[in-house]
Amino acid sequence: QLQLVESGGGLVQPGGSLTLSCVASGFTLDEYAVGWFRQAPGKEREGVACINRGDEESYLESVKDRFIISKDNAENTFYLQMNSLKFEDTGVYYCAAEYITFAIQNMCEREALWDDYWGQGIQVTVSS
């Protein structure tokens, strides 16, 4: 079965950390761009962190220096390490993978490019 499955979400206090994981099954990630998106209540989904086929990372401005995206092709998994979490980081987080043979800049800002695989979404709640 071709799918992405997220894990690692939950409830965390402001200033805390969480690491999300996204495991791919049925296909290998080494030929895919990968990314994390989120949707806060009442807001549109936005790109948070992405790695393109050139292995270039891009981040939403509000998470730079706090979040780190990484990819482990051997484990067929990618991650989002979230540090110094804020209330406004609350939302449903989705992982996505897009088969592409060349590097595209700013893929996180171009959600229309991501139409291959999406995870089911996982809740992250930052609350005291």
Q: What is the pLDDT of residues 69-104, one digit of tens each?
A: 999 999 999 999 999 999 999 999 999 999 998 888
Describe the chain by its helix, strand, coil percentages, rounded to 5: 10, 50, 40
Average pLDDT over the chain reads: 96
Distance CA 81, CA 66 (A): 8
Tokens, residue 47 = 């790109």
> What tokens does 113 get?
């490019």
pLDDT of residue 73: 93
